[in-house]
Amino acid sequence: MTISVDLLSNPVFVLGSFLVLIIFHNYLHKQPQHGKKYHPTGASVFHLLTNYNKIHDYMTDLAIKYKTYRILSPLHGIVYTTDPENVEYILKTNFKNYGKGNYIRDMTSDLLGDGIFTVDGDQWREQRKVSSQEFSTKILRDFSSITFKNNTIKLGKILSQAADSNQIFDINDLFMKATMDSIFKVGFGIELDNLGGNEEGVRFSRAFDDANNLTYKRFVDVTWKIKKFFNIGLEAELKKNIKIIDEFVYKVIQLKIEQMQMSKDEVLLKKEDILSRFVQVNDNDPKYLRDIILNFILAGKDPIAISMSWFIYMLCKHPEIQDKVAKEIIEATNVNEEITDVADFAAHVSEGTTDKMQYLHAALTETIRLYPALPVDSKVCFSDDVLPDGCNVNKGDVVAYMPYAMGRMKFIWGDDALEFKPERWLDQDGCFHQESPFKFTAFQAGPRTCLGRDFAFRQLKIISSVLLGCFVFKLSNENKVLSYRTSINIHVDGPLQVSVSRRSGFQNP
């Protein structure tokens, strides 16, 4: 009796029992029902955990056996698909039945608030409308292109020093810093100067990256709510990081609002960064502004840095493709002599020149096919449904499509699916052609398709054309086979150590 009273007054015991009851309840109610057809069971969450470090390859192997499969889970049904018809159905045809739901929102809202990545319905529609208007403005396009170029020049200067001193360096780390600087400048109009080692910038970036990783861990830790309640373990760490982020972001927002309200200065009122533009249209709610900007940073930073790192890795593994990319850049920029100053080379790079670089576009797309920044994208099913393959999904099930596995499916890309072949994206005139977004799903598809796709390619092409126009890249260990680190995005695992030499042979053929 004494023991049970003690236990009942112990919050960990009470919450633990509550969790077990929820799991048991869900187990009984969320399992496939008799008489209905369901997808074959591929594995259980236990298998996912034991294969955590190579999870995307494990899930790809399962997808080779079954295009779509279920994972046994005590919490809710989970369906993973690589079938383009199912993907089209959940992302477009029956879009309203699949969304973030409370499950995804609960996990992400501490960091991302009510930003575009966490909400559904009217809240999402409203943000999508405002953001897409913002993304299509010339002012943002011009400002972002100048910002990307300036930060690439800074990056190029670091590479020049490395080339002169035969130094080996981690290009992944530099891409992470440079893209954070760019996205911060475009988002807030502020020089974070991570690349230059600014202390406040480095502190903010570290807190942001850690908070992002810790948020992802909630997806595999069924006890995260208990830890959050008691503010222990990874949840305590997450809270600390979010505090650092919020302090910094709210300070910037407050300053911006004051500046814009007080100043009649024409220059200030014409600011091009996204925060200023939202303040200008009279959205002065700091929480709303915080959520918009943090979602924008999350959307824009990691995918660019990740895609650039895998791109450089693939080009080092395929030097003949690196040469071909560089040849096209040199032809398009019309640079005839060796230029030693990166800024001088960058002066030849413009939207007009990058538009001509069809092979570069194809090589970047081919990289993203094999290493999509978001390897798995989950949705919650809002009401019982039947997918185009005739199988049932239940209300509350998580239904996920898998861009990483889909990029490796022979039934989608042919027998050479695993090969790095930019040519597959070119027509007979050498012009880039799109694939169905339900096969090439790296940017999602349907009404919630990535808003920043053009923005991303503009940035990727500016960085690539300046860096590959000036330097030849080599892996420090040419035999190294790079793997990924399991996280929400497909980061390269560990440093990407490379050396660079100055590119010669600038004569136009």
Q: Measured from the CB of residue 467, what is the shortest distance to ligand HEM in angstroms?
A: 17
Q: Measured from the CB of residue 5, what is the shortest distance to ligand HEM in angstroms?
A: 47
99 binds ligand HEM (CB under 6 A): no
304 binds ligand HEM (CB under 6 A): yes
CB-side exposure of 447: number of CA atoms within 13 Å? 19
303 binds ligand HEM (CB under 6 A): yes
Q: Among 90, 174, 451, 492, which residue interacts with ligand HEM (rule: CB under 6 A)?
A: 451
In angstroms, rounded to a whole number, what is the distance separating the alpha carbons of residues 204 and 293? 14
296 binds ligand HEM (CB under 6 A): yes
Q: Measured from the CB of residue 150, what is the shortest distance to ligand HEM in angstroms?
A: 17
Residue 284 main-chain phi, psi, to 5 deg: -105, 15
- The number of angstroms, rounded, from the C-alpha of 182 to the middle of its chain's C-alpha atoms is 15
In angstroms, rounded to a whole number, what is the distance separating the alpha carbons of residues 494 and 509? 39
Structure-token match 């360096």, residue found: 169
149 binds ligand HEM (CB under 6 A): no
128 binds ligand HEM (CB under 6 A): yes
437 binds ligand HEM (CB under 6 A): no
Question: What strand order describes the sheet that includes 78-81?
Answer: 41-44, 68-72, 78-81, 398-401, 377-381, 98-99
DSSP letter (8 states) at residue 199: H
The piece of 199-207, 222-230, 452-460, 464-472 that touches ligand HEM (CB under 6 A) is 452-460
Residue closer to ligand HEM by CB (options 155, 330) is: 155
Q: Measured from the CB of residue 186, what is the shortest distance to ligand HEM in angstroms?
A: 7
The CB density around residue 305, as the number of other CB atoms within 10 Å, is: 27
In angstroms, rounded to a whole number, what is the distance separating the alpha carbons of residues 453 and 293? 18
117 binds ligand HEM (CB under 6 A): yes
112 binds ligand HEM (CB under 6 A): no
Q: Among 218, 448, 461, 491, which residue interacts with ligand HEM (rule: CB under 6 A)?
A: 448
Q: Among 73, 145, 307, 394, which residue interacts with ligand HEM (rule: CB under 6 A)?
A: 307
CA distances from 400 to 61, 77, 488 (A): 16, 11, 13
Q: Measured from the CB of residue 131, what is the shortest distance to ligand HEM in angstroms?
A: 6
The answer to whether 450 is annotated as binding is yes
Compute how many residues bind ligand HEM; rule: CB under 6 A.
24
300 binds ligand HEM (CB under 6 A): yes
Amino acid 228 reads K
Q: Measured from the CB of residue 476, what is the shortest distance to ligand HEM in angstroms?
A: 25
In angstroms, rounded to a whole number, what is the distance separating the alpha carbons of residues 414 and 437? 17
With 0-12 / 13-18 / 19 or more C-beta atoms within 10 angstroms meaning exposed / middle / buried, residue 434 is: exposed
368 binds ligand HEM (CB under 6 A): yes
Q: Among 452, 465, 490, 492, which residue interacts with ligand HEM (rule: CB under 6 A)?
A: 452
The piece of 39-47, 156-164, 299-307, 328-336 that touches ligand HEM (CB under 6 A) is 299-307
The CB density around residue 297, as the number of other CB atoms within 10 Å, is: 25
Taking the alpha carbons of 447, 188, 299, 361 in that order, is the dihedral positive or negative?
positive
Q: Among 202, 417, 426, 450, which residue interacts with ligand HEM (rule: CB under 6 A)?
A: 450
Residue closer to ligand HEM by CB (options 392, 464) is: 464
Q: Measured from the CB of residue 296, what is the shortest distance to ligand HEM in angstroms?
A: 6
Residue closer to ligand HEM by CB (options 159, 374) is: 374
In angstroms, rounded to a whole number, what is the distance separating the alpha carbons of residues 257 and 260? 5
Q: What is the DSSP string of 390-425?
A: S-EE-TT-EEEE-HHHHTT-HHHH-TTTTS--GGGG
Residue closer to ligand HEM by CB (options 188, 443) is: 443
Q: Which residue, among 38, 80, 83, has the nearest Cα to 59 in the 3D structure?
A: 80
Residues sharing a CB contact under 8 Å with residue 321, sequence separation 6 or more, in sequence order: 314, 315, 363, 420, 422
400 binds ligand HEM (CB under 6 A): no
In angstroms, rounded to a whole number, what is the distance separating the alpha carbons of residues 500 and 508? 22
Q: Measured from the CB of residue 490, what is the shortest distance to ligand HEM in angstroms?
A: 10
Q: Pairing between strand 398-401 and 484-485?
A: unpaired
In angstroms, rounded to a whole number, what is the distance separating the alpha carbons of residues 443 and 426? 19
Q: Among 291, 377, 385, 397, which residue interacts with ligand HEM (rule: CB under 6 A)?
A: 377
Residues 23-62 that bind ligand HEM (CB under 6 A): none
294 binds ligand HEM (CB under 6 A): no
Both tokens of 375, joined, read 């390897």
Q: Measured from the CB of residue 301, what is the shortest distance to ligand HEM in angstroms?
A: 8
The CB density around residue 427, as the number of other CB atoms within 10 Å, is: 9
Q: Measured from the CB of residue 156, what is the shortest distance to ligand HEM in angstroms?
A: 21
Judged by DSSP in three states, 495 sits in: coil
312 binds ligand HEM (CB under 6 A): no
- The number of angstroms, rounded, from the C-alpha of 114 to the middle of its chain's C-alpha atoms is 18
Residue number with the smallest Cβ distance to ligand HEM: 452
Q: Pairing between strand 484-485 and 392-393?
A: unpaired
In angstroms, rounded to a whole number, what is the distance separating the alpha carbons of residues 103 and 77? 13
Residue closer to ligand HEM by CB (options 195, 451) is: 451
Q: Measured from the CB of residue 162, what is the shortest distance to ligand HEM in angstroms?
A: 25
Task: Output the known binding site for heme.
Answer: 450
Task: Output the known binding site.
Answer: 450
Residue numbers at the binding site for ligand HEM (CB under 6 A): 116-117, 128, 131, 296, 299-300, 303-304, 307, 368, 372-374, 377, 442-444, 448, 450-452, 455-456
